[in-house]
Structure 1
Amino acid sequence: MKKFLNFATYAILLAFALSFTSCSNEEPLDIQLDEKQTLTANSATTKLIERTVSNDGSHDNIVDGSSCFDIRFPYTVMVNGLEITIDSEDDLEIIEELFDALDSDDDILDIIFPITVTKADYTEITINSIADLRELAKECIEGGDDDDIECIDVVYPVTLFTYNPNLEQTGSVTVNSDKEMRRFFAGLSETDVISIEFPVMFEMFDGTKVTANNNEELADAMERAKEACDEDDDNDHNDDDFTKERLDNLLVECPWLVKELRRSDLTQGIVADAYADYVLNFKEDSTVVARDREGNMLEGEWSTKVTDYRVKLTLEFEFIEAFSLEWFVYEIDKDRIKLYIIGADGDKLILKRVCEEPMVECTEAFIKETLLDECVWAVSDGNNEYLDDFRMDFTSMNIHVRNPNETVVDEGNWEISGTTITFNNLSMEMANYIGEWEIIECRGDRFKMKRGDQYLVIEKDCE
């Protein structure tokens, strides 16, 4: 460990200072301190340190809407009429869950005053009304105009040394937290000079460690950290709930039902009922199939990427303009995705996961197109009794029946007329199912058919 004030330099500077005091009629000597070794209260590196160790107020933006301060626990809020006591950061998730429980965005949160807030410099003040809170919040513009640097943390303890203008050491202090460090710098005067005992260790947002051995490396580490991660200073409390990878995986797991579509540029702000109950089926090859209430299907393309720390879903359909747009993900959970358009007030697309696809009208076109898909189909008798784990495929109007070992145990062909499907030329394991079957229930992943008192169910298996 080393104290970064070069004492040879100190001796020279002190000699200059003494010679200056013996010549009272001469102009004062402007002594330039070596920035690589020492810091002053107003130096650029000192300001970076202050920003790095400032109190981060963004974790409770869902309540106070400001990143420049946070509310001291405990306090009480009313969320959509329900009273909740907030004792820790974990309790903030309860608020988010209550907001997420509603499909609408008309969430109501009221803070029970008075409250105590902690500012960036760790000073605390009492707030007695929502008007006072909003006035204080004006100091911090939503979107991140607070000064703190959040993507890097100091690893404590850190020892600092203080000097007077004559470069005489006046003391030393070991700090063990951001608060102690920030309060130390707040107590400096403009004439104070300090040095830091190196090395100083930082931990980045992703857990990696960075070591600084002098002031230059110290400043460089903090400068690089400014834009290294999403500081989450905005008021979108959902944007830390997902990643691009999670969204990609979720989209292809199951089909998604369109619960609500609002495009002000196309529908004058009215919910586009024409597209409600559409089902979007996202596939791993970046294609997406939209199916309407009547079972008509249109194919498009989808992609995702991260931009400005937001996840963007792009949909492109040649014949469905309402869906074809760059949508930003606002909220996501295992059963619902909310998307919105930047700069368009109220425009949104809400999708609900439907792993069991909704029933649609049985038409010859829908049945044929669905069965010709490359997936195979599990076969049961309608009472969840599966036929020896057989899998059937219907590609090219042919039938191939395979057992769990992928051995073909029967084959034939099929034809469709209206809602009547006919199995032909089956001669082995499925010979008893030759003939006409009336399809009575249709889903994108399941068909139920009947012949007299006999039922047959086939379910899509794309794994």
Structure 2
Amino acid sequence: MKTQIKRSLFLLSLAFTIILSSCRSEDDLSIDPPLDANIEANSTIALLMKRVAANDGSRDNVIDGASNLSVQLPVTVTVNGVVINVTNSDDYEDILDAFDISEDDSDEVIISYPITVIFPDYSTIEVNSDSELSALTDNDNDNDIECIDFDYPITASFFNETSDTVSTIIINNDNQMYGFIEDLDELAAVSINFPITVALADGSVETINTIQELEAIIEAVDGTCDEDDNNDFNDCNANTYTTTYFEDSMLACGDWTIDKLKRNNNNLVDIYEAYVFTFNADGTLLVTENANEFNGTWEATGAAGDVDVTINVVGLPDFNDTWNLCKINLQPVEKQVELKIGTDRLRFGSYCSDSTDADLEDILEDGAWIVASYSDDGIDETSDYDGYEINFSDDGTVFATNGIDTNNGTWSVFANDGKMRLDFGTEMPFQEFNDNGWDVITVSNTEVTIHNVSGGNNSNTDILTLQKL
């Protein structure tokens, strides 16, 4: 077993996520920010946030049986003679499918060593055998909170004693949040920039405006959901979903696509990649695939926590059945609804935002905008766009000018997945924004925030906030 690699200090990478603002003293900052935004090291809220952000070791218990650590992917396992290359969390279900090949097999997961495991604090260690893995397993020491998740990015401000400035940190994921909380004692006069949003285990999303509200909601939901810390891998988790909640969830988005479809151990998702499902309030269902249309019906029945969904579409027998409602996840960016029958799975996904595509288009077309902030994989590049005004036209063109230089391009919002496309050609500096995959995070009449994730393991994250003049 190799020596444990400790989590890199958050402060070492802070330079890549800081936006410097006006020069002020620590005394000024301690007066200006409201007390309902301040956070201190070892405070109750700091410890709660740390538990929320901790690495969740239970989601891969089907591999390691350990809730206090997770196996770094990719990893290769053998189950009942079937070799499975696990490259992402969706592949965990391939292991479950292999369990069901026969009633007489052992359902043993044989891990191909060496592997790397990740602890709650994101430190890692190389493991070379089952005995080494067993020695690290401590299911009584699983203290993370899984019933609530932060919606990133989140920003925080602190007094930078080196430069005598107020600095803003952009936090993009749980790993960075954990490091930020760990290093609070090395930062001065820290505050969270509210509002933020959090996602609850039932799929709902809450807007949080103060530290006190955040502390209250974390304490309220802690331990109220099934955190999957047991080894009941084929369960669908206890839930309290009602037919009304399911219906409202499906009607909230006009277009749903197929994220997952497994029938009789066959993965069929690629067959239906171009199919779009529209659930109507009158119980009818329209499925389109390019120029083809399929008509059907949908109905939800049953009591809270045991909802059945009957789907019947003429010409699409792979979907026609009575499914049990398994999970609803209504994140601000991506929505997911999962159904199951035994080992069969059907998961719908949608990228509809809280505002419609038409709303976003109307908002952007109404007036001039500036780049309020732009973070390129954690590096603040906002100053590159100082002095530029951006104008979006209803003919799909966009131009940005500072009175001397003008960048011309095109833009659109895709109706099928809610993503925004920007293309400024090769003109600098706006060619940095060229992408077909900007996810819309927040929309208001005066501010729009989008982000784009690229690279292996979602390694590169760009965040762009536009502010109306």
* TM-score interval for Structure 1 and Structure 2 normalised by the shorter chain: 0.3 to 0.5
User: Greater Rg, structure 1 or structure 2?
Assistant: 1
Q: What TM-score, normalized by structure 1, do the two folds share?
A: 0.43
Question: Which protein has greater RCO, CA pairs closer than 8 Å, 6+ apart?
Answer: 2
Q: What TM-score, normalized by structure 2, do the two folds share?
A: 0.42
